[in-house]
Structure 1
Amino acid sequence: MAASVEAAPLLAHDEGVERKPPTSSPDASAKGEHTQSPPILFSSTMSRGGYHQCGSGRRVKFYVLENQAWADRGTGYCAGVYDEKHDEALLVARKEETCTSLGSVADANGSEGTQDGDAQPQEYMLVVSESLASDDFLLHAPVIKEDVYQRQQETLVVWTALDGTDMALSFQELEGCNEVWDFITEVQNHFLLSRGLEYGKALEADLPPFELAAPTLDNLDTIYEELRISSQHSVAMRDRVVEWLLKEDYIRKLTPLLEQAEARHALPALHRLYEIMKTILLLNDNLVVEYLLQDDVFYTVAGMLEYNPEHPHLKASYRQHLSDEAKFHQVVDFDDPAILTKIFETYRLVYLKDVMLAGLVEDGLQSMLTSLVFFYQNDIVNYCINDSQLWAQLEQVYRAPLTDATRVQKAKGVVFVQHLCTMGKQIQLPGRIALFRCLVDGGVLPIIEYALGTSDAALRVAASDILSSLIEYDANSVRAYILDEVHEGKTPLLCRLQVLLQDGQDPALCTQWTEAVRALMDVNMDGLMHSPLGQGAVPKPRVDTDELLTWLYDGTMQQLLEPLLQLPDMQTLAPAQSIALDPSRWLLYSHLCDLLCFVIENHSFRSQYYILTSNVCSHVGSLLHARNKHMRLAALRVLRACVSSHNQFTYRHLMQLDVMGHVLSLLQKEAPRDNLVSSACLGLCEQLRRDNVRPLLNDIVQKHSAVLEALRTDPVAGHGISALIQQQARNQSGSPSDSDESVADSPCMNEAAAEQDYFDSEEALDVPTTGESPDLEARAPLWERRRKHEDEEDDLAERLAKRPASAHQGRPAAPADR
């Protein structure tokens, strides 16, 4: 981590000598200002006020490490800048939409090629303005004189600021990274040459030479001491140590010593090898770590780290895991050998960070390893996104006939997609969205269906994870796939989830499947890909939600909630009667009650019609008589959702079922215990009072006045029941309630009162009781019945208007048409 240093002038100068910016640009004048001389080049220096930009701005992404994850702070242009007022060099990155183009450059065609086929920049981008105090700047930080900057993967610059914040610049083209890195190097060389600085003194005194003797079991102590002292000497000495170790290929020379020490059971030598390897890792150099990830080196590193002297009687088994358990299964062919190598190195890097060095708390090393993992995974995911052949190969795997060999290959494919999704969640949002779009377009949903249909629990877990990720980022595409299956006559994915939910024994998977079903039925949620967070991703056309909901309520909802409909009818149970439920079904009932609450709250008239015609509330109400408390709470949640719907037909249905009578009986039983169940019952009563649900309030008082009077004296329930009775009395007397007075001035009150009067007078639309066989009119949707009722009233008015004037008996005749 970078330590704070005292501020010092950037440019040391003798008296009478003008200060100049840290650049070798020939355009500098005697006063240290830059003048533009045609033609404009990429290396030209431009001035705005006291700021001098050294070279064109280069397109870059700026990252900051937050909670061990790299957060994308935006895309812009970055350049090295000299601040004349404060005499310091700055790294300045500005949002790309606010940067200014000064026109084309003369050496555009002569610049080096860029990576990955990116187009070469053709214009000179001006980053600075006369002031840096605005929100358009992603970064304006002084170049630190400490050696905290690292170059990674050719286009990355990573460093730790003086306040401990880890930052990274990811350049679009290699030449841009080279230019900014040269700027940083030149400024730091200036620090080294400045008078009065510690680095200058160290340079004048000349660093001591570094060299280690050829390793043997006898001189391991000497090697460790020299390595430890040199690594703690200075930053420059540490760089010299790294350079020497890599040049001499010294770590490979330690391999025979590990084998000899293990053959002799020389525990002190093995502990010393651990200390040597730990010291090398604590050099905190990414080049050393990348060297250690090589095939023939990493195994040796793992062997040395198995012998921790802090636990002298224990030995880890890293090599056994790497050789026996960590098997690489290649499902598809990668055309690029470099990406295959990176996959191996990424696994080793994660294993080194999370397992081998788990007990080594060193912030700088952990931060550097986290950065490497992030950028390695980012490269792998980007390769998979852009390789269309990969998805074609994966599709062929799942189209192959089912044999023992193809079954194993398909299982490996599921795990491959799961690992790819897990890796994709670690990268930034635009990359994640691109990955999950490729998964949907590449035909991963049939793979999920295959895995969910197997008896292998591990494959079902993997498929559930993939499906949850797809729904989170692109639920709309999953719904479109379900509708396509419906049109083709196949078993839809949602029905497969329903069967798994009803038959599943794993509580964690049942919860995950319930959330997946809930998200698919939430037609208002399209996923992050369609949200503003998608950062410009082109959304796909929305699915016809009416078509999806029509299919859902034509029979799928009945199948989904079938276990609830198999419960006893509440009307057949006495108020004090208890029922015993199969403990293996408790979790299922709870999940289905939550799904029922969800559809009541989100599917308006469709869910209300389903409740009236299926009689599901009567079966759910029987859970009020269950011995298990959380089953009672699940039933109360459903009843509260019904009350919150503010639907008069649902209120009448609850009145016919006498639901509140069972709730009051449950409250009377649980009130002396003052537990969560009694609180939930009182919460339902309070909701009726607060919302002033007049039909239910009148029904409760008329049918259960004796129970209410008994509960009024209870120390727990008395206050809430008294308030409910008082509210019903105010309604009868016509005096406003407390809640009515608080909203009396609301502009919606007159409309709400008119609507209430309308429903109260609509006696012809009573819903048939459960025991009756409703006719076709009763089975019609509620909105159609209401429309029919209004049409009948219009017909009656029209017939009255056509009667002769004498038939009105003194009523004024309607005015004749003119």
Structure 2
Amino acid sequence: MTDTRKRVKLYELNQERQWDDKGTGHVSSTYVERLKGVSLVVRSEADGSVLLESKIQPETAYQKQQETLIVWSEGDNFDLALSFQEKAGCDEIWEKICSVQGKDPSVDFTQDLVEESEDDTRFDDISDSQPPIELPAGELSKLEEISELVSSCLSSPLRREKLANAIENENYIKKLLNIFSICEDLENLEGLHHLYQIFRNIFLLNKNALFEMMFSEETIFDVVGCLEFEPGTAQPKKHREYLKSIAKFHQVIPITNTELLSKIHQTYRVQYIQDVVLPTPSVFEENILSTLNSFVFFNKVEIVSLILEDERFLGDLFTELRDSKASEERRKELVLFLKEFCQLSQTLQPQSRESFYKTLSSLGVLAGLEMTLQSTVKETKAASVDILLFIVDYSPSLVREYMMQQINNTDDDGLLMNIVIEGMICDTVPDMGASVQLQGIIKTLLDPENMLASVNKSEKTDFLNHFYKHCMHVFVAPLLSSTVHERPEKCDSCTVQVLGLIIELLTFFVEHHTYHIKNYILHKDLLRRILVLIKSRHTFLKLFALRFMRKIIGLKDEFYNRYIIKVRNFYLSFNFFKKNDNIFQVFDLIKTFKTLKLRYDQHQDRIKDRGTIEPVTSILRGTPGSRFRRDERAVDEDEEMWFNEDEDELDENIVGPSPSCLPVLEENKVTQSTAPDLIPTIDRLMEQDKIKELAAKEKVVGPDTPNGKEVESESETNAAKRLGSLVDYDSDSDDEPAAETEDMQPQAKKIKAT
């Protein structure tokens, strides 16, 4: 198998300061006899040819960038770079280079900047006593000289700094733009091509002061004009025409602040220059324009701050948003503006962002979203979901507080949580994008991990009580309506996807909401309803249902275990596994179903033997000299009370599965003269499955067996030992010893003659 750690792309810097891709291959550091030293060798992955053989010289300055790049120069104007597929490979080669040069691998430069510049003209000596760069006169005839000077300074950080200072101090930008106007009037293409190179390289100087000069209202269009005349293109680009005529600024709410207007225009134009006008930076130039990115970033921060300070502007915005008489088109414009406003707020610092969302909340953003989330216009609803997602991701408590305030003055249909739920379950778009986003919002709002608790207030308790009382019935309505009968009612794509989202959230509730969801599952018989979906023709929905049951079992909660056994919910899922042997092997729930089935059998045996069981005193006393041994299958006192006392109540609250989907349990009365092959009182099908999954049971009753007692064979005893506790979980080791002490072995069951 090919070692991807050493997979690299080889780049070479051409005369136009562009990186050319020389091919992809695998790099190694080996001794090359021809070069008399350890060298970097790159062989093509296509044909194995040598793409590079470069001896690691002691004085060569190697630079490590972005964790996967190694860049160095070999001679004048011959720069090379290796771009690694994996960081580990880059680290390994870097350590080899540092080892050869005797350097510490923790550094990103193998040579000091002073040493790197010693072979140069010492123009960029680190000493401040060196004279500044002298710029040629700003004349048309000097354009070629100016272009060469600017280009030559890019390779050295010190020279770039001195050049930027010289351009700033001499107001050189305006001089160059005056030359541009002359060249454009004269249609001097050679001069225009030089100006393109000059301004492109000025951008690469990465100097904020120069950006301020170039992006001012008076100069920005001329700068864009210089960048229209790229050498090698037949016709100049028409960027200025687009910015002036085609791109129109639409004011949703009139802006009276001239400073805000100017900043919005400038930010749009700079982003256009960055994204469209300037060439796409290569992998080595991603950080070169970091100052330009910062310029745009701080512009956005200032725009948000100026809008927040304009109380009249925001007041008009939210008044229109909440106006029930507003047209759908107008509401769409308002919501799209608000979405962009929230996107800009992501640039704010945490403290400022908190103030931002509190301001929006105080102005009624959530009340406005109640209306727009129910819009029939796709764009309006999608933008509303995005806005709510911004708010919930940053401050879910802010939204929960608003929802709690609605309890006393809003009916259930008007609650924001129910509107969100309705938006999730009623989404008819095939990709269900909005439903998935709304599901994430519901999950975040109902996650106890981000709920606050104090001495006088418990957000978790209050909000969960509110949700289960006023919203849960809306949430599970599609599930209950689809599982009325033994098979799912609806099978269309949208319905099954919504059911999947609902069950996924219910699984989350089981894990985090403890008694709230526990009570709801019991009173609505929710587990049985969900297991009906196992009969769906959609495999992913079957797996959602099984995952829900697995989550319940994995909690190791005795309440859930009793509930599963009592109402025989495991039968549907067990039957699904029986019919899908290939899927059965994928899951490790097999142990769980074995033990749950055993407990189910125990319960049925107790019901049948309740009228004929021996008195408790006789069982405790046993035969003289004998020692009481607790039946391994026996239940504890609390469990027995639950089975005996709550049976009627549970049967009233829970609608059990129809007789057609449950095994028929026949009661067999056994006497001393019974035939040798005894049949236990369980369903034949369940008994066969049990035999296949556990071990072959052989029950033998001989004619001379004392007192008619059943004698278990060795295989049955071992099988009983293997059952262990109620449920085997994922964490149980399969390698644990199966043997138990003699006192833990089950006694043979007594069969009373009738």
Q: 1:260 to 1:476 in 2, by over 3 A?
A: farther
Q: 1:238 to 1:323 in 2, by over 3 A?
A: closer
> Is contact 2:584-2:590 (8 Å) kept?
no
Pick from 259, 280, 295: which aligns with 1:359?
280
> Is contact 1:284-1:364 (8 Å) kept?
no
- Counterpart amino acid of residue 614 in structure 1: K
Q: Structure 2: any 5+ residue segments left out of the alignment?
A: 1-65, 68-106, 110-121, 606-628, 657-754
- Counterpart amino acid of residue 339 in structure 2: Q
Q: 1:512 to 1:542 in 2, by over 3 A?
A: farther
Alpha-carbon distance in 1 for matches of 2:482, 2:380: 33
Alpha-carbon distance in 2 for matches of 1:366, 1:324: 28
TM-superposed deviation, 1:550: 3.8
Q: 3-state DSSP class of the match of 1:630?
A: helix
Alpha-carbon distance in 2 for matches of 1:325, 1:498: 41
The answer on 1:522 being equivalent to 2:417 is no
Pick from 261, 286, 298: which aligns with 1:375?
298
Q: 1:652 to 1:296 in 2, by over 3 A?
A: same
Q: 1:369 to 1:759 in 2, by over 3 A?
A: farther
The correspondence of residues 52-71 of structure 1 with structure 2, limited to 5 A, is: none
- Corresponding residue for residue 341 of structure 1: 262
TM-superposed deviation, 1:507: 1.9
> Is contact 1:374-1:427 (8 Å) kept?
no
Q: 1:638 to 1:768 in 2, by over 3 A?
A: same
Q: 3-state DSSP class of the match of 1:239?
A: helix
Q: 1:684 to 1:285 in 2, by over 3 A?
A: same
- Corresponding residue for residue 510 of structure 1: 435
- Corresponding residue for residue 588 of structure 2: 683
Deviation readout 1:188-208 (Å, 9 max, x if unpaired): xxxxxxxx9965889566754
TM-superposed deviation, 1:346: 2.5
The correspondence of residues 30-41 of structure 1 with structure 2, limited to 5 A, is: none
- Corresponding residue for residue 292 of structure 1: 214
- Corresponding residue for residue 547 of structure 2: 637
Deviation readout 1:303-359 (Å, 9 max, x if unpaired): 44355447x469766446534664333345666533332232223333333443361
Q: Structure 1: any 5+ residue segments left out of the alignment?
A: 1-65, 68-161, 165-195, 532-538, 705-730, 737-751, 774-818
Pick from 147, 157, 168: which aligns with 1:224?
147
Alpha-carbon distance in 1 for matches of 2:437, 2:655: 39
> Is contact 1:579-1:626 (8 Å) kept?
no
Alpha-carbon distance in 2 for matches of 1:486, 1:256: 71
Alpha-carbon distance in 2 for matches of 1:430, 1:377: 16
- Corresponding residue for residue 624 of structure 1: 534
The answer on 1:397 being equivalent to 2:305 is no
Q: CA RMSD in A?
A: 4.3
> Is contact 1:339-1:380 (8 Å) kept?
yes
The answer on 1:212 being equivalent to 2:138 is yes
- Corresponding residue for residue 467 of structure 2: 552
Deviation readout 1:611-657 (Å, 9 max, x if unpaired): 22223323321221222221111111221233245555544443355
Alpha-carbon distance in 2 for matches of 1:200, 1:629: 69
- Corresponding residue for residue 734 of structure 1: 632
Alpha-carbon distance in 1 for matches of 2:522, 2:481: 17
- Corresponding residue for residue 767 of structure 1: 650
Pick from 261, 273, 279: which aligns with 2:201?
279
Q: 3-state DSSP class of the match of 1:330?
A: coil
> Is contact 2:439-2:501 (8 Å) kept?
yes
- Corresponding residue for residue 150 of structure 1: none
Q: 3-state DSSP class of the match of 1:683?
A: coil
Q: 1:257 to 1:244 in 2, by over 3 A?
A: same
- Corresponding residue for residue 190 of structure 1: none
Alpha-carbon distance in 2 for matches of 1:232, 1:299: 29
TM-superposed deviation, 1:513: 0.5
- Corresponding residue for residue 496 of structure 2: 586
The answer on 1:671 being equivalent to 2:593 is no
The correspondence of residues 645-664 of structure 1 with structure 2, limited to 5 A, is: 645-664=555-574
Aligned residues: 509
- Corresponding residue for residue 443 of structure 1: 364
The correspondence of residues 138-537 of structure 1 with structure 2, limited to 5 A, is: 199=125, 207-214=133-140, 221=144, 224-225=147-148, 227-229=150-152, 234=159, 235-246=161-172, 248-251=174-177, 253-255=179-181, 257-258=183-184, 261=187, 271-309=193-231, 312=233, 318-319=239-240, 322-323=243-244, 326-332=247-253, 336-357=257-278, 359-361=280-282, 362-363=285-286, 365-400=288-323, 402-404=325-327, 408-489=329-410, 491-504=414-427, 505=429, 506-526=431-451
Alpha-carbon distance in 2 for matches of 1:342, 1:695: 68
> Is contact 2:507-2:548 (8 Å) kept?
yes
Q: 1:695 to 1:360 in 2, by over 3 A?
A: closer
Q: 1:321 to 1:458 in 2, by over 3 A?
A: farther
- Counterpart amino acid of residue 293 in structure 1: F
- Corresponding residue for residue 514 of structure 2: 604
> Is contact 1:210-1:241 (8 Å) kept?
no
> Is contact 1:653-1:767 (8 Å) kept?
no
> Is contact 1:661-1:700 (8 Å) kept?
no
Alpha-carbon distance in 1 for matches of 2:533, 2:238: 53
Deviation readout 1:377-422 (Å, 9 max, x if unpaired): 3333334445544432333333556345xx5554333223222222
Q: 1:305 to 1:733 in 2, by over 3 A?
A: farther
- Counterpart amino acid of residue 578 in structure 2: Q
- Counterpart amino acid of residue 348 in structure 1: R
Q: 1:755 to 1:387 in 2, by over 3 A?
A: farther
Range with greater deviation from structure 2 (754-763 or 499-508): 754-763
Alpha-carbon distance in 2 for matches of 1:642, 1:338: 59
Alpha-carbon distance in 2 for matches of 1:200, 1:253: 34
TM-superposed deviation, 1:515: 0.9
Q: 3-state DSSP class of the match of 1:487?
A: coil
- Corresponding residue for residue 782 of structure 1: none
TM-superposed deviation, 1:702: 8.1
Alpha-carbon distance in 1 for matches of 2:455, 2:146: 63
- Corresponding residue for residue 662 of structure 2: none
- Counterpart amino acid of residue 348 in structure 2: I
> Is contact 1:451-1:459 (8 Å) kept?
yes
- Corresponding residue for residue 77 of structure 2: none
Range with greater deviation from structure 2 (447-456 or 543-552): 543-552
The correspondence of residues 714-733 of structure 1 with structure 2, limited to 5 A, is: 733=631
> Is contact 2:132-2:166 (8 Å) kept?
no
TM-superposed deviation, 1:514: 0.6
Range with greater deviation from structure 2 (492-501 or 203-212): 203-212
Alpha-carbon distance in 2 for matches of 1:390, 1:331: 10
Q: 3-state DSSP class of the match of 1:329?
A: coil
> Is contact 2:136-2:145 (8 Å) kept?
no
Alpha-carbon distance in 2 for matches of 1:288, 1:668: 74
Q: 1:759 to 1:251 in 2, by over 3 A?
A: farther
> Is contact 1:284-1:368 (8 Å) kept?
yes
The correspondence of residues 694-713 of structure 1 with structure 2, limited to 5 A, is: 697-699=598-600
Q: 3-state DSSP class of the match of 2:219?
A: helix
Alpha-carbon distance in 2 for matches of 1:766, 1:563: 27
> Is contact 2:253-2:316 (8 Å) kept?
yes
- Corresponding residue for residue 171 of structure 1: none
Deviation readout 1:226-282 (Å, 9 max, x if unpaired): 543577793424421343344745325424645765xxxx87666544323212212
Q: 3-state DSSP class of the match of 1:617?
A: helix
Alpha-carbon distance in 2 for matches of 1:479, 1:443: 14
Alpha-carbon distance in 1 for matches of 2:598, 2:536: 26
Q: 1:621 to 1:240 in 2, by over 3 A?
A: same
